[in-house]
A and B are shown apart, each in its own frame.
Chain A
Amino acid sequence: DVKVTQSSRYLVKRTGEKVFLECVQDMDHENMFWYRQDPGLGLRLIYFSYDVKMKEKGDIPEGYSVSREKKERFSLILESASTNQTSMYLCASTPRRGWGWNEQFFGPGTRLTVL
């Protein structure tokens, strides 16, 4: 079974803190994604990565950065957390590139609260 794990299920941080969210997948997937999920807005893509050290901006990258130093690990960084970044963060991975059918495998999510 493919497994995508996220470092924390729940996280509480203060405004201005630097926050690291870690995601690890164990199936040698090439593509990894970070989304945030908010009620009524669905999933919105923050960043994605096709390969080690490569990253692409999604729809809402402002206030976030990412790091992919190893194939299995994709980190989301909030340089200076703000209250409007309180959300559920979901990591996902897919096994291949290209235009064919692809399944996204999701981690359980990290619920981040910024006070």
Chain B
Amino acid sequence: GEDVEQSLFLSVREGDSSVINCTYTDSSSTYLYWYKQEPGAGLQLLTYIFSNMDMKQDQRLTVLLNKKDKHLSLRIADTQTGDSAIYFCAESTGNQFYFGTGTSLTVIP
């Protein structure tokens, strides 16, 4: 499969911004995604970006895509304790998805 890399852990204080980074290898990826996994649950789609876009904003979430460097980031503004979860980036090529290792975000009150 393709390589999708993320750092494993991130801690932020409540109210601060969180930035979760991801690098991928497949330059033919059409869509890139961010999924959230809360404790004891499956993954849920948070947001996605088409590969011809640089940025996408959705309320507190901002996705940045640097296609040249194959780098994707997710910024969460005003991070809340409810944002504590594991965040996965993923890329899709055709019908297959390739997921990163996941970043465990801990929000400190």
Q: Confirm or deny: B109 has a beta carbon within 8 angstroms of a beta carbon on chain A.
A: no
Chain A interface main SS type: loop
* Cα–Cα distance between A85 and B100 once the two chains are bound (Å): 20
* Cα–Cα distance between A42 and B101 once the two chains are bound (Å): 4
Q: Confirm or deny: B82 has a beta carbon within 8 angstroms of a beta carbon on chain A.
A: no
User: Do residues B101 and A90 form an inter-chain contact, with CB atoms below 8 A?
Assistant: no
User: Do residues A90 and B43 form an inter-chain contact, with CB atoms below 8 A?
Assistant: yes
Contact of A109 among B35, B41, B90, B101 (CB under 8 A): B41
* Cα–Cα distance between A86 and B22 once the two chains are bound (Å): 27
Known: A90-B42, A90-B43, A104-B45. A42 touches B99 (CB 8 A): yes
* Cα–Cα distance between A42 and B41 once the two chains are bound (Å): 14
Query: Contacting chain B: which of A14-22, A61-69, A71-79, A95-103?
Result: A95-103
Residues of B contacting A108 with CB < 8 Å?
40-42
User: Do residues A45 and B96 form an inter-chain contact, with CB atoms below 8 A?
Assistant: yes
Residues of B contacting A103 with CB < 8 Å?
33, 45, 48
Q: Confirm or deny: A82 has a beta carbon within 8 angstroms of a beta carbon on chain B.
A: no
* Cα–Cα distance between A33 and B98 once the two chains are bound (Å): 12
User: Do residues A40 and B50 form an inter-chain contact, with CB atoms below 8 A?
Assistant: no
Q: Confirm or deny: B30 has a beta carbon within 8 angstroms of a beta carbon on chain A.
A: yes
Contact of B95 among A94, A106, A107, A109 (CB under 8 A): A94
User: Do residues B42 and A106 form an inter-chain contact, with CB atoms below 8 A?
Assistant: yes
Chain A residue at smallest Cβ distance from B41:
A108
Minimum C-beta distance from A35 to chain B (A): 8
Residues of A contacting B44 with CB < 8 Å?
106
Known: A97-B95, A109-B41. A40 touches B8 (CB 8 A): yes
A selection of 15 A-B contacts at a CB cut-off of 8 Å is A33-B97, A43-B43, A43-B99, A45-B96, A48-B95, A59-B1, A90-B42, A98-B94, A99-B30, A99-B94, A101-B30, A104-B35, A104-B43, A104-B45, A108-B40
Q: A94-B95, A99-B30, A102-B31 are in contact. List 20 more A-B contacts (CB 8 A).
A: A33-B97, A40-B8, A41-B101, A45-B1, A45-B96, A50-B95, A58-B1, A90-B43, A99-B94, A101-B31, A101-B50, A102-B92, A102-B95, A103-B33, A103-B45, A103-B48, A104-B43, A104-B45, A104-B97, A109-B41
